[in-house]
Amino acid sequence: MKSVNESVVNPMREIQIEKVIINMSVGKSGEPLERAKKVLAQLSNQKVCTRQAKNTIKDFGIRKGEPIACLVTLRKDNAIDFLKKALEAIENKLNTSRFDEFGNFSFGIKEHIDIPGTKYVPELGIIGMDVIVTLKRRGYRVKRKKIRKSNVGSNHLISKKEAIDFIQKNFGTSIT
């Protein structure tokens, strides 16, 4: 039995990375989208999903339903490994405006070749991407499940400050 003076860490309060989404929006279907899919598959070693345009934008030549972007969702160890590389690509610096009120954050990488371990392939070119990171605590599944869904208390939600502390401590990122 533990004494009162020992600090007990509640495992339900521990913050974890739920998923990392890598999104490449090229704005056109065809050859540019295929090159982006190859780059994304090379970076993640996973199957790439395409996303369609939600609206028609005549000025840009985009039709509703036309595939214009691709993305990959990484979870568990793959997500942590890629996030470490992606943060190195932006020199481990993030702005506080990148974090939302629920502790999630996102940032952009202008050139995929900035990610360590990525080689330049002239046929594919250079493509930028968005990286979206979703944080969670144990027990969030209760909020999303189909049967016996329930609310999560406000004290169990991740705040912006907690997310910033988590990223600084675990990834050595400087927040400005």
For 43, the enclosing helix (H) or strand (E) is: helix 31-44
CB 43 within 8 A of CB 56: no
- Rounded CA separation 50/34 (Å): 10
For 79, the enclosing helix (H) or strand (E) is: helix 76-89
Number of neighbours of residue 86 by Cβ within 10 angstroms: 21
**So where are the chain's domains?**
14-175
Distance of CA 104 to the CA centre of its chain: 9
Question: 174: helix, coil or strand?
Answer: strand
Q: What is the CATH number of domain 14-175?
A: 3.30.1440.10
What's the pTM value of the predicted model, to 2 decimals? 0.85
8-state DSSP, 7:
-
- Rounded CA separation 161/18 (Å): 18
pLDDT at 7: 55
pLDDT at 2: 52
For the chain, 176 residues long, the average pLDDT of each consecutive 10-residue run is: 60 92 88 90 91 87 88 94 93 92 92 87 87 92 88 88 93 90
